[in-house]
Structure 1
Amino acid sequence: MASAASVTSLVDEVNCPICQGTLREPVTIDCGHNFCRGCLTRYCEIPGSESEESLTCPLCKEPFRPGSFRPNWQLANVVENIERLKLVATLGPEEEDVCQEHGEKVYFFCEDDEAQLCVVCREAGEHGAHTVRFLEDAAGPYREQIQKCLMNLRKEREEIQEIQSRENKRIQVLLTQVATKRQQVISEFAHLSQFLEEQRSILLEQLERLDGDILKQQEEFDSLVAGEICRFSALIEELEEKSERPARELLTDIRSTLIRCETRKCRKPEAVSPELGQRIRDFPQQALPLQKEMKKFLEKLCFELDYEPAHISLDPQTSHPKLLLSEDYKRARFSYKWQNSPESPQRFDRATCVLAHSGFTGGRHTWVVNVDLAHGGSCTVGVVSEDVRRKGELRLRPEEGVWALRLAWGFVSALASFPTRLALEEQLRQVRVSLDYEVGWVTFANAVTHEHIYTFTASFTGKVFPFFGLWGRGSSFSLSY
């Protein structure tokens, strides 16, 4: 039986450094010290401790993060046991083992009344027909029940802890995804802002040019009109003077004067030339690239916010021996020299291919393949089912669990049931592969221009993996997102 002094010593060991009382819901911080959850929470709320950098351990002054509280279940169990010992120590051995009614030592337990009995109690008539056992014999089955309960409770606690760990990891993944999307929005709008500023400068410059051309033609028009008005004013003045002269002078050279006035035709100039007018009417067409770029921006932004960037790497266990993988497994290069690769059921032995290390069983994912082909080289990118053929000949078509695009020197083909050569506006060097597992789409696009290339439609039932094939000395590819 624990003495009062020993219990007091144990109690001192499980005191909270903040409230000086026994720990309640003990939690551990980064430096290893333990506190009551409530005390530490109130400590973090002290004015002047709002920033995480200013929070330090009340004991050792080591910095810690408020979100780093870790429940200390083992210490909580120790505290509970100490409290129980403390209670027993305060009762004393006489009060614990002696029947309060008869003053005799307690030896028995009545299972019907769940009462502890001394010899006198046992002989009393009220327990005569009951099941009475010695204390240890009666405690045995209850100990077993308690152990079963403890086993179940500990199992449930472990399950809760596993759920907590899993959900915390999930929260971290979601926070990472949100941070990535935030960075995407900032980056895309920064690019858009730069593009809009460039377009604004171009359009304003064109308007300035039109404005200058209009003013120039106005000046030419005013000069021409002023000259015409001056000439007509001179003729009018001459005729007015002629009409007031005597008949002899009026008739002198009258026919020549009239011919000169009648044959003088007024030139009717235009203030704005047809060419300038057409340029003004065509000005709205200058904004079409802006409209097209805005549409492309919105489509790209919605796509990138909808699809999760896949942080994939190449799986060396699946790589054909002719593929040289980089140390970070983000790049592969073709070599005619076979690598010393151990035999593996997952490894491709004829098709010079490699899979990503991780596959997908749901969701929307996207990644970019940067292709660098030598003359005569080719690269295959896409998605394959987990049970795709690894040994012998691999037929690259959907019926074999392969949904892929082949990039070769000078052309691109969709590897459908019957390969389809595709016409593209420019040579493809960066391919964006997008997987929508639930809908069953595998989409390929030009990662630079965002031009759609091809989309496969499938019904996925198991795990699928990003897939890559490479051929041709000097050819390589690398991964990004």
Structure 2
Amino acid sequence: MASAASVTSLADEVNCPICQGTLREPVTIDCGHNFCRGCLTRYCEIPGPDPEEALTCPLCKEPFRPGSFRPNWQLASVVENIERLKLVSTLGSDEEDVCQEHGEKIYFFCEDDETQLCVVCREAWEHRAHTVRFLEDAAGPYREQIQKCLECLRKEREEIQRIQSRENERIQVLLCQVATKRQKVIFEFAHLSQFLEEQQSVLLAQLEKLDGDILKQQDDFDVLVSEEICRFSSLISELEEKNGRPARGLLTDIRSTLIRCETRKCRKPEAVSPELGQRIRDFPQQAIPLQRKMKMFLEKLCFELDYEPADICLDPQTSHPKLLLSEDQRRAQFSYKWQNSPDNPQRFDRATCVLAHGGFTEGRHTWLVKVDLAHGGSCTVGVVSEDVARKGELRLRPEEGVWALRLAWGFVSALGSFPTRLALGEQPRQVRVSLDYEVGWVTFVNAVSQEPIYTFTASFTQKVFPFFGLWGRGSSFSVSS
């Protein structure tokens, strides 16, 4: 069946140029154009300005004779078919509402058979005992069910979209973490490569020095041996010559000759001195620092790949008014001048401390703290629980939800139940803090020497935050990943 658009297009092609409607009893004039018979007759009856002037076609203005109309039966048949198609197209939308069996309009719905019925179907024997309702009445409960299904489906779709959004964000985070680890591996191996090249140069230089010392001692040995061989060769020649003389010649100065031979001191030179030999035997000890460095490198690399670098920013809402925070919120400095900071429940009011944004409820995280105590004072670094006291005195110990170190000029203390001063190889100025939430470890390491400083063991049950404290004019710290 032709579509409504195609039928309308065909109908436009058989319109009368005079009335703009569908051609009725189409006739053709001399120029070949077609018009409705009635329209063209009325057109010919309209008097013109000159009664003697011939009539012209309304379209092309070609003259024609009024009695020259020719009925166009073929076109009339086409117009009739187009009209029929238009009617079918108009009624096509109602065909679905008509019973295919009886040709009657459908009014009812049989709920038992889930079938739409006309009046004749309704009276049929097979539907008399069934529940039959009007279409709209029967559709009502189904509309309600559909509405409930739509609500459920929309909620599930929204949930899936939320999951998609969340997982996409998680994927982006993981991609960033992988990129960070990639850069870390590249950086660490580049650093190791430089160190290995330097160590190779040092070891090769030492081997070159040993080569030179061995060759020098070989030259000295060769000279000494040559001198000894010459001395012994001279004595041998003298004795051979003396032994070949007659008795009188042999006995002349014989005692002096024998004494010189018997009292000779034979020097037994060594090609390699004991000191040089010991240096050669001790050379493998020169690789011990390299072995130690490789061990530290692997431990550090595994550690940094295992722990996620935390993007730490200080939270100004928690900062004590005596702490000056940098614009990027990654550095803090102590000042005796109080800042104009509004009071709020999150802010420390007595302890000169500040927390980081965010906090952690899972995972392994690490961050770097660079401490500057050039003018004295102290700095406290670690983690605290979310409910740590913000107002009044803050006791820095695990029982109060604080796991931290205090770095002061000349000493470092672990702030346990009782503060413990730590014996360290060197005073740390860069401390790497690492948190393993599930295991419950808070680990501190000297970021420069990689020397372990201290490890707290805890059982975390709520969110924990990176924690920092300062005291003393000019003391400051900065944080990074």
TM-score range, shorter chain: 0.7 to 0.9
**Residue of structure 1 in register with 2:351 after alignment:** 351
**Residue of structure 2 in register with 1:236 after alignment:** 236
The offset of 1:90, in angstroms, is: 11
**Residue of structure 1 in register with 2:312 after alignment:** 312
The offset of 1:374, in angstroms, is: 3.9
The letter of the residue matching 1:205 is A
**Residue of structure 2 in register with 1:141 after alignment:** 141
1:372-405 per-residue CA deviation (whole Å, 9 max, x = no partner) reads 1143311100010001011100000000000000
**Residue of structure 2 in register with 1:267 after alignment:** 267
TM-score normalised to structure 2 length:
0.81
Contact kept in structure 1, 2:444 and 2:454, CA below 8 Å: yes
1:132-153 per-residue CA deviation (whole Å, 9 max, x = no partner) reads 2211111111111111011111
Kindly tell me: are residues 463 and 90 of structure 1, through their superposed partners in 2, closer, same or farther at Cα, counting changes over 3 Å?
farther
Contact kept in structure 1, 2:312 and 2:357, CA below 8 Å: yes
State the alpha-carbon separation in 2 of the partners of residues 5 and 320 from structure 1.
Answer: 77
The offset of 1:94, in angstroms, is: 3.0
Aligned-pair RMSD on alpha carbons?
1.7
Kindly, what percent of the aligned residue pairs are identical?
A: 86
1:313-359 per-residue CA deviation (whole Å, 9 max, x = no partner) reads 11111111111111111111111111111111111111011111011
More divergent stretch after superposition (123-132 vs 232-241): 123-132
**Residue of structure 2 in register with 1:333 after alignment:** 333
**Residue of structure 2 in register with 1:477 after alignment:** 477
Please say if 1:465 is aligned against 2:465.
Answer: yes
The letter of the residue matching 2:408 is A
Secondary structure of the 1:107 match is strand
Contact kept in structure 1, 2:376 and 2:475, CA below 8 Å: no
**Residue of structure 1 in register with 2:293 after alignment:** 293
State the alpha-carbon separation in 1 of the partners of residues 391 and 300 from structure 2.
Answer: 39
State the alpha-carbon separation in 2 of the partners of residues 108 and 93 from structure 1.
Answer: 19
**Residue of structure 2 in register with 1:17 after alignment:** none
Runs of 5+ consecutive residues of structure 2 not aligned to the other structure: 9-88
**Residue of structure 2 in register with 1:252 after alignment:** 252
Please say if 1:99 is aligned against 2:78.
Answer: no
**Residue of structure 2 in register with 1:394 after alignment:** 394
Kindly tell me: are residues 475 and 91 of structure 1, through their superposed partners in 2, closer, same or farther at Cα, counting changes over 3 Å?
farther
More divergent stretch after superposition (116-125 vs 251-260): 116-125
Runs of 5+ consecutive residues of structure 1 not aligned to the other structure: 9-88
The letter of the residue matching 1:218 is Q
State the alpha-carbon separation in 2 of the partners of residues 265 and 337 from structure 1.
Answer: 89
**Residue of structure 2 in register with 1:206 after alignment:** 206
Kindly tell me: are residues 91 and 155 of structure 1, through their superposed partners in 2, closer, same or farther at Cα, counting changes over 3 Å?
farther
State the alpha-carbon separation in 2 of the partners of residues 102 and 94 from structure 1.
Answer: 15
1:418-456 per-residue CA deviation (whole Å, 9 max, x = no partner) reads 100012222211000000111111000001111100000
**Residue of structure 1 in register with 2:454 after alignment:** 454
The offset of 1:92, in angstroms, is: 2.1
The offset of 1:117, in angstroms, is: 1.5
What is the total number of aligned residue pairs between the two structures? 398
Kindly tell me: are residues 106 and 218 of structure 1, through their superposed partners in 2, closer, same or farther at Cα, counting changes over 3 Å?
same
Contact kept in structure 2, 1:374 and 1:472, CA below 8 Å: no
Give the structure with higher Rg (CA): 2
State the alpha-carbon separation in 2 of the partners of residues 438 and 427 from structure 1.
Answer: 30
1:289-321 per-residue CA deviation (whole Å, 9 max, x = no partner) reads 101101100110110111110111111111111
Contact kept in structure 2, 1:397 and 1:415, CA below 8 Å: yes
**Residue of structure 2 in register with 1:366 after alignment:** 366
Please say if 1:382 is aligned against 2:382.
Answer: yes
Q: Where in structure 1 do 4 or more consecutive aligned residues deviate above 3 Å?
A: 3-6
The offset of 1:4, in angstroms, is: 5.0
Contact kept in structure 2, 1:109 and 1:115, CA below 8 Å: yes
